[in-house]
A and B are shown apart, each in its own frame.
Chain A
Amino acid sequence: MVEEIGTTTDGDLIINVGPQHPATHGVLHLVITLNGETIKKVEPHLGYIHRSIEKMCESLSYRQFIYVTSRMDYLSSHINNHGCALCVEKGLQIEVPARAKVIRILMDELTRIASHELWWGAMAMDLGAFTPFFHAFRERETINDIMEETCGARLTMNYMVPGGVMLDIHPNFRQRVHDFIRLFKSKVHEYEEMVTGNIIFQNRMKGVGLLSAEDAISFGCTGPTARGSGVSCDVRKYYPYDGYEQLAFDEVLETAGDSFARYMVRIRELHQSIRIIEQLIDNIPEGDFQAKTKAVLKLPKGEFYQRVETARGEFGVYIVSEGGTTPYRIKFRSPGFSNLSALDHMARGSKLGDLVAMMGTLDLVIPDIDR
């Protein structure tokens, strides 16, 4: 570790942003070398919330380990669970019923909207505008209520299990999702008026945190972070799972590569998610919500990799099985970890105030980075 108090030999100021800091949304610790207000270096120190989930999973059965993954990217817990369930299904070659597939995609997209809304509010708060946070939560609460009714939880859902979903959807589900879509469509213009069109906001975001397409690929950035730089990388398009290939939706791409481009990608993704939900909500097929599976799951010997698109990017589950009831080794490829590694490259030479604009649009969730 570098000397964390005082200055460097060049007379630069070293400040610690975090582990407790309002801008880091969790326990991220950045050691920043500053020359006046200009950033010379950003060095992330991780691990304040490391729970060694990968090690824990080695002693959990294939049904149990999915519950732990909800605690990684807690804003996309459905999608994390989805990836793990898919990976186990791939190993066991379980055919998931059509109804379960549709429910899963609906839940994924609702989660994505909820996650993007939280991001939108938190990012505006980083930039000093408090009000958008409350406006975003007005819609997000509706999604949480829907989730609570069907899954019994508001944050760590644990709803997707190998073979389908744990429970059938609540009878009110369809109506409440319709209500949500109506509410969302009537309110989404406020987002544009309050934040997107604001001149101060645009000046803060445009040209800040530039990331070229080559660098985005080299740093392993995925999700809206890479798509803001023009890298087409939507897992739902290129490696579709659970029937995404049958749905009409667009991969959102922006080419500028700055914070504003990443912002616009997420805002436009909200509309694409709504589009997916609208296609499915009235077409949930009847049938089982869960395939018949054995009580104790045993994956055959081998390696299985499954990737899904979370709200932050590509989430990968890599299971190495020795044929037992517990995985021999599990690796979670978390999108935030790779996205964070690009922060130093993006931040060098910008002002301290820009750092929050960059971290805001990277949409970092610290438990996802630390795992």
Chain B
Amino acid sequence: MTTEELKSTLLELFPAAIPEEGGEWLAINVAPDELHDIALRLRQEQALNFDFLFCMTCIDWKTHLTMVYHFTSTRYRHNLVVRVKLNFTSPEVATLSDIWQTANFHEREVYEMFGVNFINHPDLRLLILPDGWEGKNPMLKSFEDPINMIRL
């Protein structure tokens, strides 16, 4: 499917989603409480078939956080970027690990690095950081560690 067709299909399915262009791939902005439903549709809709969540990360914009999901379809080979804007004080979003199992590890990584709370995640614990790092989120721009961090 070309980007244009993908865009029209997506807008038909999710009128609330705000498409964004300019990047390499089509991107849509989604509200946090709608994410799980939309993701499930993306996965299950035969015309879309986004079965492969190949990248998932978070960006700290100092005023807010943005979750970025990169989807691709192993059948149609089209790509989609889904962005979810989260507020900075209590970032919360539904887990996608029940739809794509790879989200399990990636969400644990985002949880410890950015402090995003994934609702209904089966096993939301520290994955990379050692014990005692709960609540300290090293990938945030505001994180300071005067001992271990070297400013380049």
Contacts and interface: CB of A to CB of B under 8 A. Distances in A.
Interface of A: 1, 44-47, 50, 52, 54-56, 59-60, 90, 215, 217-220, 222, 231-233, 238, 302-305, 307, 314, 316, 318, 320, 328-329, 331, 333, 337-338, 340-342, 345, 370
B151 A59 contact: yes
B56 to A, nearest CB: 9
B64 interface: no
A197 to B, nearest CB: 33
B22 A217 contact: no
A340 B59 CA distance: 24
Instruction: Find the residue from B81, B138, B152 having the highest chain A CB count within 10 A.
Output: B152
Contacts, number: 88
A370 B128 contact: yes
A305 B59 contact: no
B114 to A, nearest CB: 11
A337 B103 CA distance: 11
B92 interface: no
16 contacts: A47-B127, A47-B128, A47-B129, A60-B152, A218-B51, A218-B100, A219-B101, A220-B101, A231-B74, A303-B23, A304-B24, A314-B54, A316-B54, A338-B106, A342-B101, A370-B128
Contacts of B152: 56, 59-60
Interface of A is mostly: mixed
Contacts of A333: 54-55, 70
B130 interface: yes
Given A47-B128, A318-B68, 12 more contacts: A1-B125, A54-B139, A59-B151, A60-B152, A90-B24, A302-B22, A305-B70, A316-B54, A318-B55, A320-B59, A333-B54, A333-B70
Interface in B2-21: none
B104 interface: yes
Given A59-B152, A60-B152, A370-B128, A220 B23 contact: no
B25 A341 contact: no
Contacts of A345: 101
A165 to B, nearest CB: 24
A47 B54 contact: no
A333 B24 CA distance: 17
Contacts of A238: 77
B102 interface: yes
A331 B127 contact: no
Given A305-B25, A318-B55, A219 B60 contact: no
Contacts of B23: 302-303
Contacts of A52: 138-139
A130 to B, nearest CB: 33
Given A46-B128, A305-B55, A215 B101 contact: yes
B52 interface: yes
B22 to A, nearest CB: 7
A217 B51 contact: yes
A218 B101 contact: yes
Nearest to B125: A1
B88 interface: no
Contacts of A318: 55, 57, 68, 70
Nearest to A307: B54
Given A232-B74, A233-B74, A219 B102 contact: yes
Contact of A305 (B24, B53, B151): B24
Interface in B123-150: 125, 127-131, 138-139
A220 B59 contact: no
A47 B129 CA distance: 6
B51 to A, nearest CB: 5
Contacts of B24: 90, 304-305
Contacts of B101: 215, 218-220, 341-342, 345
Contacts of B109: 337
Instruction: Find the residue from B52, B77, B81, B130 having the highest chain A CB count within 10 A.
Output: B52
A231 to B, nearest CB: 6
B59 A329 contact: yes
B143 to A, nearest CB: 8
Given A59-B151, A232-B74, A305-B55, A338 B138 contact: no
A220 B100 contact: yes
A341 B108 CA distance: 11
Given A217-B52, A329-B60, A341 B104 contact: yes
Contacts of B138: 52, 55
A52 B114 CA distance: 13
B102 A341 contact: yes
A238 B23 CA distance: 19
Of all A-B residue pairs in the complex, the 5 with the closest CB atoms, nearest first, are: A220-B102, A47-B128, A331-B57, A341-B105, A333-B55
